[in-house]
Chains A and B, each alone.
Chain A
């Protein structure tokens, strides 16, 4: 991807909301084109440039954007485990099969996705208990 393309779709997506209400047709088009680019650009790459870290602010933003995904009842029943350090990579690689271990070592960062099985039960307990406590502690 050229630097120009990248700049184009990053600026296109981030029109401020007050502008988006009366967004011009060119703005809407840019947004759609930006999504076309991102969607078609993504592919599964099986080797990475080693020893090239992702700048921390960028990595942080990527995780924050991932958090924008919708979840059931907005429970967000997941945890992310970011593996960047040598020690962490070694540990993670020891659990990976075949070529995947090499990919973990080469990659700048890996994210382990944890699906929170207990979240549903916890949310149910809270949804039952919270109204009770609100009633007890709030007067009027």
Chain B
């Protein structure tokens, strides 16, 4: 929220967030039932979300986008990767001290170099970053107020090392 506001997101968009978010929020069977009926009835009049998804599926969907991005980024840097889902989630959550009530583990991705690679073949520094995600020509032409700069949490806020909550150092 604060991130959005600081970066000049449209006020009306921010004001509409609570109602939009309640629709996604899948708590309570009764509330879900009501939403389901409302969504079905309004569907012929305007596009409505289908209320079938639970919070876990919603969160996993978002993680999928990040996962693919990570694999493509690692490919660009000459690495190879392997997404894996063959693991015991209970064991994993226990071993890495992950709060199991809040976090679901959809997948694990391993990254490394192809067999036979030596340190000389690897890039040791990242290329220059522009920290600008969108082409300015696209955002200025668009009628809607989209910010040309991407707003993201700091890496430290999102990434831990070796176990949940442990600060990552590079």
Interface residues, chain A, CB within 8 Å of chain B?
Answer: 1, 3, 6, 9-11, 13-18, 20-23, 38-39, 41-49, 52, 54-85, 87-88, 91-92, 94-98, 100, 103-104, 106-121, 123-124, 126-128, 130-131
Contacts and interface: CB of A to CB of B under 8 A. Distances in A.
Contacts of B125: 55, 57-58
A108 B117 CA distance: 12
A118 B115 CA distance: 40
Interface string B61-75: 111011111111111
A80 B158 contact: yes
A11 B127 contact: yes
Given A92-B96, A126-B1, 15 more contacts: A22-B137, A42-B75, A44-B82, A52-B118, A58-B125, A59-B170, A71-B66, A72-B61, A72-B62, A73-B20, A91-B163, A92-B108, A100-B86, A120-B59, A121-B55
A113 B80 contact: no
B60 A92 contact: no
A55 B123 contact: yes
Given A43-B80, A60-B170, A81-B98, A115 B71 contact: no
Contacts of B136: 17-18, 20-21
A54 B112 CA distance: 7
Q: Which 8 A-B pairs have the closest CB atoms?
A: A48-B112, A88-B162, A115-B59, A61-B126, A66-B70, A45-B80, A107-B110, A95-B91
28 contacts: A14-B130, A16-B132, A17-B132, A20-B137, A55-B122, A58-B125, A63-B159, A65-B76, A69-B65, A69-B68, A71-B65, A74-B3, A77-B58, A77-B59, A79-B158, A81-B98, A81-B164, A84-B161, A91-B162, A92-B95, A96-B87, A98-B86, A104-B108, A115-B60, A115-B105, A120-B25, A121-B27, A127-B17
A78 B70 contact: no
If over half of B's interface residues share one DSSP class (helix, strand or loop), that class is named, otherwise mixed; here it is: mixed
Contact of A124 (B4, B21, B160, B164): B21
Given A67-B152, A69-B68, A78-B63, A21 B127 contact: no
Contacts of B163: 81, 88, 91
Interface residues of B, number: 101
B111 interface: yes
A92 B108 CA distance: 10
Interface in B98-142: 98, 102-119, 121-130, 132-133, 135-137
Contacts of A38: 72, 75-76
